[in-house]
Structure 1
Amino acid sequence: MAMKKILLVVTNVDHYASGLDTGLWLSELTHIYHTAKEKGWEVTIASPKGSTVPIDPESLKPLILDKITKDYYKSPAFMEELNHSKTLTEVENKSFDCVYLAGGHATMYDFPDDTTLQSIIAKQYESGKMVAAICHGVGGLLNVKLSGRAYLITGKKLTGFDWFEESIARRKREVPFNLEAALKERGVIYDKAFIPMTSKVVVDGNLITGQNPFSSKEIAKVIVKELERSNLKKQY
């Protein structure tokens, strides 16, 4: 099986407009990172500004922190890599088999309007390669336009952190916009788990989305499965 190259995009924002701390939701990075590394694939971590990546303190709470994520958080090598993330401009002309947008509420501030990120995603998608996003990272797809000027996500089936889950997370008054409503305004076929805060992954061609942090393990497995399937198709 040929080695795959994965681009993991993370946030640089460390607080809401109110000043409350936020950042990357760590498990939404660690599970895809771990799964790809187990496969021996090449992983690149990038962010809009590069360098330091803040971690949402909520994602580090004992009741939330799973073993894989805890081990990576305690790994000096991983944290060194995370806090020396590439800038998006450094990687925008490189080739990847999958571009994955990790979440965290912070991504609602620096993902949607980043034109370099939009360009990376549009090129990736139009080349028939995989684009994946999880939770609030799905907001990075909102303003991506394809070469025909249509929005990438219009008419696509996908998921993302829903508004009721925002209530459960007690962040409705903190977030800059309602992600579920914004997705629906773009004309997506929005799908979500029957039970809030449970895993949900949606595949629509080469677009894969996960609803919330609890989808981190499943989306990693689905990405690997789909990438290996596409590799088999090329062989036969």
Structure 2
Amino acid sequence: MPKALFILTSHDTLGDTGKPTGFYWEELAAPYWILSDAGWQIELASIKGGKPPADPSSAEGDAMTDEVRRLLADEAVMNKLENTTKVEDVEVSGCDIVFLPGGHGTMWDLPNSKALGDLLGRAFDKGAVVGAVCHGPAGLLSARLASGDPLVHGRRVAGFTNSEEDAVGLSDVVPFMLEDQLKAQGGHHQKGPDWQPFAIADGNLVTGQNPASSAEVARLMLKAADLPTAP
């Protein structure tokens, strides 16, 4: 059975606002079920281990999708989510996909995790598919390849856009603008219309722009996993 590793944020506060944040449910749920239903074993990890925080707004209104409901109702999955492995203790060998769901929390802890950066670099160098959606690509900023280059350098990459950050009113709250930093590391940033599904694969790197892109990211990761090696 092929294996995928999902790595979640452990950060729970939006800067100095006192408002809660964390991972975004849809960006976990849709890829989880697409891969699981395709026969993949999925392991869950987080930066600090244990139960990662979820953005409460991602389980309300239109954000409460059928996939999220299915996840919340699945006792086995929720038990795994209560007991995620600390990223420093993860064994990435044998994982064919490493995926970073988004949520604003990722902007604070994923880019500052050396353990995550080392894991992603090793996985990509060995030919694993590395995927991320929405704010999840913030975790790619910590990753360097054996060559010393940033993982995103010279590759097409998507992520939450400056205009989308402006639209949610958090441009002055987040520690940096994700689109700008992906470009600063040499990524060829691409995007679609705000809030519409947009995902791209550049070899074994698969990224998506926003929550609406999470299912397409999962489908592209499955397609990329059939590649014998990263280009």
TM-score, structure 2 as length reference? 0.94
Structure 1 residues 74, 168: closer, same or farther in 2, change over 3 A? farther
Equivalent residue runs for 1:56-135 within 5 Å: 56-135=55-134
The one-letter amino acid of 1:179's match is: L
Q: 1:222 aligns with which of 203, 220, 227?
A: 220
In the aligned structure 2, how far is the partner of 1:38 from the partner of 1:136?
25
> Could you give the per-residue CA deviations for residues 131-156 of structure 1, whole angstroms, max 9, x where no partner exists?
11111110111131112212111111
In the aligned structure 1, how far is the partner of 2:22 from the partner of 2:64?
15
- SS in structure 2 at match of 1:63: helix
Shift, 1:230, TM fit: 2.7
In the aligned structure 1, how far is the partner of 2:7 from the partner of 2:142?
16
The one-letter amino acid of 1:187's match is: G
The one-letter amino acid of 2:180's match is: A
- SS in structure 1 at match of 2:24: coil
Identity %: 33
Gap regions ≥5 residues in structure 2: none
Corresponding residue of 2:48: 49
The one-letter amino acid of 2:219's match is: K
In the aligned structure 2, how far is the partner of 1:167 from the partner of 1:93?
36
CA contact (8 A) 2:51 2:81 kept: yes
Structure 1 residues 93, 207: closer, same or farther in 2, change over 3 A? closer
CA contact (8 A) 2:201 2:224 kept: no
Corresponding residue of 1:31: 30
**RMSD of Structure 2 on Structure 1 (CA):** 1.5
Corresponding residue of 1:171: 170
- SS in structure 2 at match of 1:46: strand
The one-letter amino acid of 1:215's match is: S
Shift, 1:89, TM fit: 2.0
In the aligned structure 1, how far is the partner of 2:174 from the partner of 2:219?
29
The one-letter amino acid of 2:201's match is: V
Structure 1 residues 20, 85: closer, same or farther in 2, change over 3 A? same
CA contact (8 A) 1:33 1:43 kept: yes
TM-score, structure 1 as length reference? 0.92
In the aligned structure 1, how far is the partner of 2:214 from the partner of 2:21?
18
The one-letter amino acid of 1:196's match is: D
- SS in structure 2 at match of 1:230: coil
In the aligned structure 1, how far is the partner of 2:92 from the partner of 2:35?
21
CA contact (8 A) 2:93 2:123 kept: no
The one-letter amino acid of 1:108's match is: M
CA contact (8 A) 1:192 1:200 kept: yes
Equivalent residue runs for 1:7-22 within 5 Å: 7-18=5-16, 19-22=18-21
In the aligned structure 2, how far is the partner of 1:159 from the partner of 1:65?
24
Gap regions ≥5 residues in structure 1: none
